[in-house]
A and B are shown apart, each in its own frame.
Chain A
Amino acid sequence: MKFTLNGSERTVEADGNMPLLWALRDVVGLTGTKFGCGAALCGACTVHVDGAPVRSCQTALSDVEGKSVITIEGVGGEVGTAVVAAWRKLDVVQCGYCQSGQIMSAVGLLSENRKPTDEDIDTAMDGNVCRCATYQRIRAAIHEAASNLA
């Protein structure tokens, strides 16, 4: 299976039905993308495929053939850098386990909408569970990143 991963061409030898999540973690060895539910219910596995956030636990490896996949390890650019900086400035993380997915969803949101309202944040981020309940800081960090992108 051929696709672009964090900007480089990759060929991954694995069953095309294997979820992208497990292909990334177990075959490619990129473990920043996390497993939380395996059922599109928590967002821990969020990656970008052709720029849009998707749940990699519900995306077959064959679905990304020829496409561009960005994982937490490949976050960059104007929006990605602003989001990560805001996360660090506000010390959003607690256990940190959900945060790769949170950051991927937040980058997705801010790439589409540079000035999200609280309601926009609720809509974009409700699929990302944080059992440590860092939600207040995630919200603040998204606003912080937005203000730095203006």
Chain B
Amino acid sequence: MHIIKPADYARMLERLAPAPALAAPSRRGFLKAAAAISGALVIGVRLGPSEAFAAAPTDGPMPNAFVKIAPDSTVTVLIKHLDMGQGVTTGLATIVAEEMDADWSQMRAAFAPADAQLYNNLLFGPVQGTGGSTSVANSWDQLRKAGGAARQMLVAAAAEKWKVPADSITIEKGTLKSGSHTASFGELAADAARQPIPAEVKLKDPKDFKLIGTRLPRLDSADKTDGKAVYALDIRRPGMLTAVIKRPERFGATVKSFDAAAAKQVPGVVDVVAVPAGVAVLAQNTWAALQGREALTTVEWDESNAENRGTAELLDEYKKLADTAGRNAAKRGDAAKGIAGAAKTIETEFAFPYLAHAPMEPLNCVIEKTGDGVTIHTGSQFQTIEQAVTAGIMGIKPEQVKIETLWAGGSFGRRANTAADYVAEAATILKAIDGRAPVHLVWTREDDIKGGYYRPMFYHKVRAGVTADGKIAGWEQRIVGQSFMIGTPFEAFAVKEGVDATSVEGASDTHYDIGNLMVELHSPQVKVPTLWWRSVGHTHTAHVVEVTIDELARAAGRDPVEFRLELLKDKPRHTGVLKLLAEKANWGTKPGAGKGRGIALHESFNTVVGSVIDISVVNGQIKVDKVVCAVDCGIAVNPDVIAAQIEGGVGFGLGAALHDEITLDNGVVEQANFDTYIPLRMSEMPKVEVHIVPSANAPTGIGEPGVPGVAPALSNAIFDATGQRLRSLPFRLEDFKA
């Protein structure tokens, strides 16, 4: 991820507030935020008003925005990030527990309120949000210091009470001891809160970690196995109306006219209102709302601004663009000359479809008038953006928008929407009914599959060659696909000289030592809304790079692992992963007749993942038997959660490799539900093995990096088994003849 520069930071702030302006960062505000970033978070917290702080005196106090200690000694860690399944509540609580020497059983987690000053993502600048696999990485120092400060204040309180030197006090599993004195956190919490905030927080030496690096049980397992976990879809407010929106068939179309009469006849339907997204039907329950929408057959749409192109036309256009020079994303040496002098060359093309995220919980949120503003209940991934957008719609200030962040039933990037799309829709409905009842906007699965914000369609064209002695002679890659950063608050730091880093990451910054490299980008405009999708640009760049490397290794007559090792000489993390992977996946052995083995290695979100896939060909059908992954993600905070993220990433990546595809016909999406947008199912899930490279470095991302290597490793395995090369996604295995 990109660290924000101060100038970019200011530009982002400007872009964040469509109307009314989000207060520009005053010098003082900036210093507070800067202090928080540099680690003096307790001070920033004391100055900044927040719920956590306001609640502290009555609530078992610790003067700290991230840690609260209750009289019963439970320690609640305020989680500034969304947990959409990645286990971040468990991971962040572990970091605090470690520095406090708490017992795992006393740890709790609660989602923090929306507050960009206290709870911004330190890698996103002035924005509270979750994404880019940054939750643990950006919280690591912050929460270690929060936990360490809390520990020091407890110790100081005990020293005062027991009249013993602070350094005589030890803490083990949440119990403070000195000589014959013992006390729990709860007994000392009130005194500790009165202690001065430590100017310097002493952190543990990682070799003394007791909890980090061990398999601690997830904090959310119990509530997610008995129906108690509350998602936005489960929110019930007095008088709440459920709303569904009748949407246009084509992106960019708007409502011209409609007749609400038939919908209003449906028992339970309360109102029918036009909003920018379409026509909203409000009802007393979901079933009535859905039937009301069914009855709305008379909506006329203005399609004068709508997207009419289909997938085939777009692909044609993209192919033509790929024949012309694009914007320069990377240039070293002379790629054309290198390729001209190569002993063997390849010329390949790769097409990637639009992809829906299809989180298991269909998109929804509740919005209601409260006090002098509104409250939104949602699995919020971009609190600051949602506050700014909602404030603009309602004509109030962002700080008058409260957000109750809830468990999210998956996201895969969909909820981190730079337009805050479904929250904005809910706000427009609330406004259209003058705020007279809480509104629960619910998307159906069809709304979700057809609703846009897809991973963009991409097309890559590659020319590359190897020299007679097996070195890469040159590499040219043209990438064509929409940018979803241009025109958003994030443009300032993602787009440089017209090149959107999220379109080329993983290719332009390839970890391989390629002397003659050229990567160019075209970002065509299409009215299909697009967005990041678990692992963002790496979803396509890693596939192209890792298949191409495999093709070049074979052209050079080299073993794919050795070929890679040679191109990674000064990259110890990559070679460490590759070597562990080769050992664990028995790379040296042959998989046997009718079987194939393929490898891929990729770095994303500062994490290196290697994947080896074993397949069999049974009656002309490809079966994925086993996936072995090796991972370097820095210090493994919770190895079991890391394994789960890689297992899930493999399944997610495999779904994209085998099935996922959104196509358009004359601008109309052809898929609708899980019968046409096919999810990976139990019977297709291979055995996944995860091996973690030991590391003493700070933790890096884990939610996304498991995904990129899956499709290329599979392509490489299929080639190994059959000699047939599948490049474009999804692979058409049904057409496959062994």
Contact code string A24-64 (vs B, CB < 8 Å = 1, else 0):
01110111111111110110100000000000000000000
Number of A residues near B (Cβ < 8 Å) is 56
Contact B233 A136 (CB under 8 A): no
Which residues of chain B come closer than 8 Å to A38, judged between CB atoms? 290, 444-445, 673
Instruction: Answer whether A32 and B227 are a contact pair too, CB < 8 Å, given A135-B682, A138-B682.
Output: yes
CA distance A22 to B242 in the complex (A): 12
B680 — which chain A residues lie within 8 A by C-beta? 133, 135
Q: Are B86 and A94 in contact (CB under 8 A)?
A: yes
Q: B372 contacts the other chain (Cβ, under 8 Å)?
A: no
Chain B contacts for A9, CB-based, 8 A: none
In the complex the two chains form, what is the Cα distance from A38 to B443 in whole Å?
11
User: Are A133 and B685 within 8 A (Cβ)?
Assistant: yes
With contact pairs A36-B362, A96-B407, A97-B361 given, residues A131 and B412 touching in the complex (Cβ less than 8 Å): yes
Report the bound CA distance from A92 to B87 in whole Å: 11
Name the residue on A nearest B216 (C-beta): A91
B681 touches A36 (CB 8 A): no
Number of contacts between A and B (CB, 8 Å)?
179
Task: Assess whether A15 is in contact with B359, with CB atoms less than 8 Å apart.
Answer: no
Min CB–CB distance A24 → chain B (angstroms)? 11
Q: Report A71-114 CB contacts with B as 1/0, cut-off 8 Å.
A: 11101000000001001100111111111100100000000000
> Cβ of A134 and Cβ of B644 under 8 Å apart?
yes
Q: Is A126 an interface residue (CB 8 A)?
A: yes
Judge whether B218 and A95 touch: CB under 8 Å.
Answer: no
A18→B284 CA distance, assembly (Å): 13
A38, A130, A134: most-surrounded residue (chain B CB, <10 A) = A130
Q: Choose among B226, B228, B286, B682 the residue that contacts A122 (Cβ–Cβ < 8 A).
A: B682
Q: Which of B226, B411, B650, B673 contacts A32 (CB 8 A)?
A: B226
B220 touches A93 (CB 8 A): yes
Chain B contact residues: over half helix, strand or loop, or mixed?
loop
Taking the closest CB of chain A, its distance from the CB of B147, in whole angstroms, is 23
CB proximity of A145 to chain B, nearest CB, Å: 12
Q: Is A115 an interface residue (CB 8 A)?
A: no
Q: Mark A110-133, 1 if CB is under 8 A from B, else 0.
A: 000000000001100110111111
In the complex, are the beta carbons of B225 and A27 less than 8 A apart? no
Decide if A2 is an interface residue (CB 8 Å cutoff).
no
Instruction: Compute how far the CA of A71 lies from the CA of B227 in the bound complex, rounded to whole angstroms.
Output: 9
Residue from B85, B86, B682 in contact with A128 in the complex, judged by beta carbons closer than 8 Å: B682
Closest to B689 in A: A136
The answer to whether the Cβ of B340 comes within 8 Å of any Cβ in the partner chain is: no
Could you tell me if B360 and A73 are in contact, using CB atoms closer than 8 angstroms?
no
State in angstroms the CA–CA spacing of A104 and B646 once bound together: 26
The reply to whether B650 and A29 contact each other, CB–CB distance below 8 Å, is: no
Q: Number of contacting residues on B, CB 8 A?
A: 62
Contact in complex: B286, A96 (CB < 8 Å)? no
Report the bound CA distance from A58 to B300 in whole Å.
31
Output the least CB separation between B422 and chain A (Å): 15
Chain B contacts with A in 360-416, Cβ cutoff 8 A: 360-362, 407-412
**Interchain nearest-CB distance for A136 vs B (Å):** 5
- In the bound assembly, the distance between CA atoms of A30 and B228 in angstroms comes to 10
B408 touches A25 (CB 8 A): no
Closest A residue to B284 by beta carbon equals A26
Contact B218 A93 (CB under 8 A): yes
What residues of A have a CB within 8 angstroms of the CB of B410 in the complex? 94-95, 97, 131-132
Q: B634 at interface (Cβ–Cβ under 8 A)?
A: no
Q: Is the CB of B86 within 8 A of A72?
A: no
| B84 part of interface (Cβ distance < 8 Å) | yes
Give the complex CA separation of A71 and B225 in angstroms. 12
Pairs across A and B, CB under 8 Å, 11 listed: A23-B287, A26-B285, A31-B227, A37-B445, A42-B445, A92-B221, A93-B85, A96-B409, A100-B227, A131-B412, A135-B681
CB within 8 Å of B: which residues of A?
15, 18-19, 22-23, 25-27, 29-39, 41-42, 44, 71-73, 75, 84, 87-88, 91-100, 103, 121-122, 125-126, 128-139
6 new A-B contacts, CB < 8 A, other than A31-B236, A122-B682, are A133-B649, A133-B655, A133-B685, A136-B685, A137-B644, A139-B685
